């Protein structure tokens, strides 16, 4: 009787972890596709370039030069997206008009980049750091570089910035705590009961290249505050993907961050707000003054 009970319990445990593993595989599977648009559609001349993450993953990117300007911006899309996302291509001209060269990257396992899996902001940090190295080899200094990311990209740039010496960071609709986000998002995304969420997080930790518990960028936001790196947090109460509470986490971690909370915009759609360009360019100007 005891043996049979143990067998049943073992099978249930394996099934529980197995469901978690399937969800992890689905959420981290590659999302590769050709770009649906280019910077040319926004009136920007660009070059196709390649770069390498700090762990050796080959990444595809677009380079939008701005004459002899020493300033640069790295734009980073989110989960399931790529460098041709509308919000990315609508924002690139804002930086260009402000005198920034713009590097727009495809994160690993997305768009046209190599890489076996997406890791929800865990290893994508190395892609952002690879972009900074690429810029550095071309004479662009970190102190003149702004990192700007959306959703998972926002989380990634915040995590990549401490210690890098960048001029500023812009985070739009990102999450400050991945496990907290997944507790609410997994049942909706995977169509499973909340009971399985701990199993999904456990399964995610079993892979050597993915630890969801390490993706809590509110901690890195605190480091940015200690390093006097300006942070601009943009979110919307109407965001149905990542709750606005995550923006509040960033604000609490970086007391001097500039916070813009919109009302009705959906996920990563702040670019459509009539004040978007003015607010972003104002932040960039203020950041440059603080660096003097």
Contacts of 267 (CB under 8 A, 6+ apart): 151, 173, 236, 239, 240, 241, 242
Residues 137 and 264 in one domain: yes
Residue 6, helix vs strand vs coil: helix
Residues 130 and 271 in one domain: yes
Residues 153 and 240 in one domain: yes
Give the CA diameter of the chain: 79
* pLDDT for 209: 74
Token couple for 218:
């509110």
* pLDDT for 23: 64
pLDDT tens by residue, 168-197:
999 999 999 998 888 887 666 656 666 667
- C-alpha dihedral (12, 15, 17, 21), degrees to nearest 10: 180
Whether the pLDDT of residue 9 is over 50: the answer is no
Residues 146 and 237 in one domain: yes
Token couple for 169:
């960071």
pLDDT tens by residue, 45-71:
999 999 999 999 999 999 999 988 999
Q: Structural domain tally of the chain? A: 2
Tell me the residue range of the domain where 182 lies.
1-32+178-214
The label of the residue with tokens 């070059």 reads 47
Residues 56 and 159 in one domain: yes
Residues 133 and 106 in one domain: yes
Whether the pLDDT of residue 135 is over 90: the answer is yes
pLDDT tens by residue, 267-281:
999 999 999 999 999
Q: Is 89 exposed, middle or buried (0-12, 13-18, 19+ CB in 10 A)?
A: buried
Nearest to 248 by CA among 190, 191, 199, 177: 177
Residues 204 and 168 in one domain: no
Residues 103 and 210 in one domain: no
Residue 258, helix vs strand vs coil: strand
Residues 15 and 140 in one domain: no
Cα separation, 42 vs 250, whole angstroms: 31
Residues 52 and 196 in one domain: no
- C-alpha dihedral (226, 232, 238, 241), degrees to nearest 10: -60
Domain boundary among 192, 214, 236: 214
Residues 185 and 88 in one domain: no
Cα separation, 192 vs 196, whole angstroms: 7
Report the CATH number that the domain containing residue 137 is assigned in CATH. 3.40.50.1820
200: Cα separation from own chain's centroid: 21
Residues 184 and 168 in one domain: no
| Global pTM value | 0.90
Domain boundary among 166, 195, 214: 214
């Amino acid at each position: 009787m005891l043996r049979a009970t143990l067998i049943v319990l073992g099978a249930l445990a394996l099934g529980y972890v197995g469901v978690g593993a399937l969800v992890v595989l689905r959420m981290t599977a590659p999302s590769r596709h050709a770009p649906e648009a280019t910077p040319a559609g926004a009136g920007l001349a660009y070059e196709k370039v390649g770069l390498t993450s700090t762990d050796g993953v080959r990444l595809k990117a677009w380079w939008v030069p701005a004459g002899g300007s020493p300033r640069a911006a790295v734009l980073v899309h989110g989960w399931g997206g790529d460098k041709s996302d509308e919000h990315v291509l609508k924002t690139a001209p804002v930086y260009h008009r402000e005198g920034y060269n713009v590097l727009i990257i495809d994160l690993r396992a997305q768009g046209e980049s190599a890489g076996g899996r997406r890791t929800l902001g865990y290893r994508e940090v190395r892609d952002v750091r690879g972009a900074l190295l690429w810029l550095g080899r071309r004479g662009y200094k970190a102190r003149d570089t702004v990192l700007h990311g959306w959703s998972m990209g926002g989380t990634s740039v915040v995590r990549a910035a401490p210690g890098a010496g960048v001029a500023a960071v812009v985070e739009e609709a990102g999450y400050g705590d991945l496990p907290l986000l997944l507790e609410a998002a997994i049942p909706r995304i995977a169509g499973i009961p909340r009971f399985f969420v701990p199993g999904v997080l456990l399964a995610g930790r079993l892979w050597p290249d993915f630890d969801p518990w390490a993706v809590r960028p509110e901690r890195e936001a605190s480091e940015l505050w200690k390093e006097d790196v300006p942070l601009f947090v943009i979110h919307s109460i109407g965001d149905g993907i990542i709750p606005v509470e995550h923006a509040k986490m960033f604000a609490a971690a970086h007391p001097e961050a500039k916070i813009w909370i919109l009302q009705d915009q959906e996920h990563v759609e702040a670019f459509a707000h009539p004040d978007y360009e003015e607010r972003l360019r104002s932040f960039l100007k203020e950041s440059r003054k603080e660096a003097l």
